[in-house]
Amino acid sequence: MACRFTSSYSSWIGNVACAMLLLLAGCGQKPAAPHAERMAAPEAGQENEAGQENEAGQENEAGQENEAGQENEASPGSADSSTASPASQVTSFPATVTEFPEMAAMPMEAMVETPQSLAPAPSLPAGAVREAGAQFTTVEVLYATDRARRGKAFAEVQVADHQRTQIVCYAVLAFLVGSALLSFLLKQLQTGLSLLFVSAAVGCIAIVFSVFGEPQVIKQGVAYSGERGELVRGVCQVTVPATHRPGTIERPSLLRFELREDQQKHIVLTAATELTADTFRTHLSELVESSPKRDVMVFIHGYNVEFESAVRRTAQIAVDLPFEGVPVCYSWPSQGSLLGYTIDENNAEWTTAHLKQFLLELVEESGAQSINVIAHSMGNRAMTLAIQQLSAQRSPDAPPMFDRVVLAAPDVDAERFSRDFAPPLLEVSQHVTLYASSDDRALLASKRVHGHPRAGESGSNLTVVPGVETIDVSGIDLSLLGHSYYGDSESMLRDLYGIFGNRLPAAQRHLQAMHTIQQMLYWQLTQPMPPHGQSLPPQQAFVSPFPAAPTR
């Protein structure tokens, strides 16, 4: 009996020790796709005047000299550009494609039309700057939030988080040492020695973190919690490293022996400054005026997202597309916790009035010719409710308020979307796209909780509504949950660029036309990704916004 107890105890202690060590190490950074093109620092002899970034993490230096000694002009979206596009440029929007019954018997080559416009040279979002000699680019992200302010300033929150991590490290160390001593008392020498070895490793990590883990980047401004607050507006500064890879939000990881944020390696939010409504409006108008197409992109995050994470994601998407307009983040009071799903559901509905107010301000006061919205997961609940209310108050003969609206993995009841939300979206938008996946385990869990399919599901529950272009992206996200493909997949980013950058309907992007059992048209993202340095076959060619890596 005692032998059975000690054996069971040893196994339990070993499992707990492994779990603790993995918890300390963290999940690490998502590895970039093997074919992702890496941005390189300027070579000798190259002169960089305006650093440019795209969402996938590549950064080009507009204005770099070529080997022939010729110097290229800075792209119009960069901060150092000397030639801006005319403010009065008018953008034409192709009509949404909704009915193609003749495509059922067409071969793949005939289903894909040649893109009618080419991607511009990759450029920076409006307001972004790369200083001479810097190994990162500073991206300006405007924001609106109804989160409550934290009692401490940004820098104080940094220190508190560092101290909290130290406490966790030493608590885990104490547990492991105590377990090792108990193992020796029970004469489980092998288990005790193993735990002592793990304790030594954790102890080294704790000591190194205490000595070298203090924040290297001192952040400025205000910090926000997951509690409800008033609607405020502001501007954030986010730095993106020159080594940034497409579809990746680089963060510190103990698995790579990184203990603190480094602006040359990680995407870092360095400042968050609140502005008055008038100051925000003026600054927004200035940025819109300076952008080539006078456009705005609003990102609305989903469940389990903190303010900092939402802003970093907005910067990454804007850089990786690339988007030359003004990136804006709307952050509602998500708890930033897996256990906060119910609270997040309530807050996503509660924030609707504030989101509606903010979107209306953008339409009426920004001076933008094109306002685009992309919402993810539970953020689609707030977005669809807000647009439903805007549509009800809108004059029937008024022009569309929004250009492109994208619903990525929407955690919205599928039947309610088709019946209640799709018609208002089509009334106030030029073009509506819905991305769905059968690999989205987060939405499968949501369906079990709510008892009904979600609009972001694929397979037999795929939501297809006339006028809304539904894109099945199953298979492009190989992560554990398969829920963040909208910003993590290079294929997805290229398709988003086709929507926001080239303003192409699905019929003119690299998509395969499909039909449901009811003969409803939808599309499938099947674009293969070639090995690094190789190109797609002619019939599969796609105009990529990502530049080729420089040859060394």
Amino acid identity of 458?
S
**Per-residue model confidence as pLDDT tens digits over 464-519:** 999 999 999 998 765 667 677 777 788 889 999 999 999 999 999 989 999 887 88
Most confidently modeled range among 44-58, 244-258, 443-457, 523-537: 443-457
Taking 80 as the threshold, does the pLDDT of residue 82 lie above it? no
Q: How far is CA 124 from the centre of its chain?
A: 16
More confident residue, 248 or 410: 410
Cα separation values, 470 from 115, 331, 388, 467, Å: 19, 26, 19, 9
Q: Cα–chain-centroid distance for residue 454?
A: 21
pTM for the full model?
0.68
- 146 closest CA partner among 368, 366, 332, 408: 332
Q: What is the pLDDT of residue 31?
A: 41
- Backbone CA torsion sign across 300, 301, 307, 308: negative
Least confident of 253-257, 269-273, 425-429, 526-530: 526-530
On the question of pLDDT at 301 being above 60, the answer is yes
Residue 228 forms beta bridges with which residues?
A: 147
Report the b/e string of 11-31 with b at 16+ CB within 10 A.
Answer: eebbeebeebbeebeeeebbe
Give percent of the chain with pLDDT exceeding 90.
Answer: 47
Choose the weakest-confidence range: 26-35, 256-265, 271-280: 26-35
For the chain, give every domain's residue range. 2-28+153-212, 136-150+224-528
CATH architecture entry for 136-150+224-528: 3-Layer(aba) Sandwich (3.40)
Per-residue pLDDT for 88 more than 80?
no
Length of the chain: 552
Closest to 345 measured CA to CA, from 386, 304, 384: 304
For residue 241, give Cα distances in angstroms to 52, 248, 251, 315.
Answer: 11, 11, 11, 12
Across the chain, mean pLDDT equals 76
DSSP 239-257: EEETT--TT------GGGT
208 pLDDT band, cuts 50/70/90, is: low
Q: Please report, for residues 145, 313, 492, 493, 547, the alpha-carbon distance to residue 242 in angstroms, rounded to integers and kept in the order given.
A: 29, 17, 22, 19, 14
